[in-house]
Amino acid sequence: MPVMNSPYNGRQPNEFKILTELEGVPNSRSLEVYKKYGGYAALEKVLKGGMSPDDVINLVKASGLRGRGGAGFPTGMKWGFVPKAPGEKYLITNFDEGEPGTYKDRYIAELNAHMLIEGKLIGAYAIGASKSYIYLRGEFYDEIAWCEKAIKEAYDAGYLGDNVMGTGFKHHMDVYIGAGAYICGEETGLISSLEGKKGQPKLKPPFPAVKGYLNKPTIVNNVETLAAVPWIIRNGPEAYKKFGTEKSAGTKLFNISGPVVRPGCYELPLGYPLKRFIYEDCGGLIGGKKLKAVIPGGASAPVLTADEIENITMDYEAFASAGTMLGSGAVIVIPEDVSMVHVLENLMHFFKDESCGQCTPCREGTGWLLKMSRDIVNGDGVPGDAEKIADVAGKMMGRTICTFSDAAAGPARSIPQKFAHEFVEFYKTKKNAVQAHG
């Protein structure tokens, strides 16, 4: 178990509030409330306190902040990849939030989108971008409206425009609305979409930091990543590192779904015990049901059995060493009475639907995985099918343009392997075909 930098035992609920400080505050989305809680003080500190772009990058590096969109890449380091040469650069916020189980970025906008806007302004100053976008998924009608309103307020208050806070720094911001395609969450797919094209990912390198939107240097950051930046600037990197573990600094929004008593979006220090989260914070499973499995980081994360979560903590390293990932922090709880064969079929339906189709292993592989898992669910499976699924999945890894294919392969390898006995039950009888779950 990793050593926590600050013990969570005996904590007060307010101690972890970096992103969720405005939780429960009346009229939390207004600029006025945001300012009352220290809003835009970080921007002022950066622009008027004599911080250079490199000072900002170094401070964010020192905080240990890692990308909250899934990959966990160190944010300050990523900003540092942008060439220093003059010219157009862009900062794009990834607000596509399409990974099943994930509903954290929208929670930030529901509390107050200015957190994101201020973080973006600071990031934009650090990389030298005079234009930024918030790319939101099209189904987020409320969230789009909240972001648009906050951007307008920021313009009216002089935080956006040709002369931000009278400092000569120029920054413009706009929203861009997607139209229903999970793959637009992948950063190069997102950039294609923003260019008005199909949201198909592109081969890396070149990385967007060098050649992105309109072939200009572009940083794509998740909402939660950027929203943490103002607090880090205000309070300093050491204060941020007090939360979390050595390699997973800070707090993270954990969004839990599945049949738990208190679902929701919880801000917790990284390194928090998963079991404690499910049973104490979220109240355990509805009706006291037994836990069968947990998908710890959104639909793309390999599944963990109830035994495997016994002592695991929620941080990048602990999940990686258990063969899975922290991903978006989406904890999906699966109770004892749900068949894992059905879970596999549901997940494969998602991946088959959302593959953008440009790589053969992904396009064909997701089709096969869905067909094979569906056949088993329908009672047409024969012994050896589970192994075949894992085998097909193995061939989809590491050979495609983006990591979507690997993500689809994750559950398709882990479920048949860890729950082989459930597949055997399905081979025996056709009666499962008519037996609905739950």
Partner 1 sequence: METKVMASFFSSALNEKIKSFIGRYETKRSSILPVLHAVQDENDWISQEAVQALESEHGLSVVDVNEVLSFYTMYRKNPPKPYRLEVCGSISCWLHGADKTIAAAKAHIAEGEKNGNPVPFECHKVECLGVCGYAPVALVNKDRHLNVTPELAIKLISEYSKKELPAAAKKCASDLAARSAHQ
Ligand X SMILES: Cc1cc2nc3c(=O)[nH]c(=O)nc-3n(C[C@H](O)[C@H](O)[C@H](O)COP(=O)(O)O)c2cc1C
List residues near partner 1 by CB under 8 A: 97-103, 106, 131, 137-142, 174, 176-182, 193-199, 213-214, 255-259, 263-265, 295, 299, 330, 332-335, 338, 343, 346-347, 349-350, 353-354, 436, 438
Query: Residue 88 phi/psi, 5° resolution?
Result: -65, 135
Work out how close the CB of 357 gets to partner 1 at its nearest, in angstroms, rounded to a whole number.
10
Pairing mode of beta strands 272-273, 169-177: unpaired
Do the strands 90-95 and 218-222 form a parallel or antiparallel pair, or are they unpaired? parallel
> What track of x and - describes contact with ligand SF4 for positions 375 through 414 (by CB under 6 A)?
-------------------------xxx-xx---------
Q: Which is nearer to partner 1, 43 or 160 (CB)?
A: 160
The least CB distance from residue 184 to ligand X, in Å, is 8
Residue 92 binds which of ligand X, partner 1, ligand SF4, none (CB < 5-8 A, kind-dependent): none
Q: Smallest distance from the beta carbon of 315 to ligand SF4, in angstroms?
A: 27
Do 259 and 72 form a contact (C-beta atoms < 8 A)? no
Q: Considering only the stretches 32-40, 116-124, 353-361, 413-421, report the one whose residues sit in contact with ligand SF4 under the rule CB under 6 A.
A: 353-361
| List 201, 217, 230, 327, residue binding ligand SF4 (CB under 6 A) | 201
278: DSSP letter: I
Should residue 356 be labelled a site residue for ligand SF4 when binding is judged by CB under 6 A?
yes
Q: Could you tell which of ligand SF4, ligand X, partner 1, none binds residue 185, using a CB distance below 5 to 8 A set by kind?
A: ligand X
Q: How far is CA 160 from each of CA 97, 164, 174, 193, 207, rounded to the nearest angstrom?
A: 25, 5, 10, 25, 28
Residues 6+ apart with CB under 8 A from 242: 5, 6
The alpha helices in 355-400, defined as continuous H runs, are 360-377, 385-394
Q: How far is the CB of 363 from ligand SF4 (least distance, A)?
A: 5
Q: Is 355 in the site for ligand SF4 (CB under 6 A)?
A: yes
Inter-axis angle of helices 114-127 and 223-235, to 10 degrees? 80
Q: Which residue has the tokens 């597949």?
A: 423
Q: How far is the CB of 184 from ligand SF4 (least distance, A)?
A: 11
Residue 190 binds ligand SF4 (CB under 6 A): no
Tell the smallest beta-carbon distance from residue 202 to ligand SF4 (Å). Answer: 8
Q: Which tokens in the block code for residue 387?
A: 């192994």
222 binds, among ligand SF4, partner 1, ligand X, none (CB under 5 to 8 A by kind): ligand X
Minimal distance, residue 145 CB to partner 1, in Å? 10
In this structure, what token pair is assigned to residue 94? 């990834």
Dist. CA 224–CA 33, nearest whole Å: 20
Question: Which of ligand X, partner 1, ligand SF4, none does residue 221 bind (CB under 5 to 8 Å by kind)?
Answer: ligand X
DSSP class of 244: B
Q: What is the dihedral angle through the alpha carbons of 111, 267, 250, 242, rounded to the nearest 10 degrees?
A: 110
- Evaluate whether 26 touches 105 at the Cβ level (below 8 Å): no
Q: Which is nearer to ligand X, 400 or 414 (CB)?
A: 400
Q: What kind and span of H or E run contains 229?
A: helix 223-235
Least Cβ distance, residue 73 to ligand X (angstroms): 5
Alpha-carbon distance of 396 to 363, in angstroms, equals: 10
Peptide bond into 217 cis (omega under 30): no
- Phi then psi for residue 83, to 5 deg, are -60, 145
Nearer to ligand SF4, 340 or 401 (CB): 401
Q: Which residues bind ligand X (CB under 6 A)?
A: 67-71, 73, 94, 96-99, 183, 185-187, 220-222, 225, 402-404, 407
Kindly list the residues in this chain that would bind ligand SF4 in the complex (CB under 6 A): 183, 201, 355-359, 362-363, 400-402, 404-405
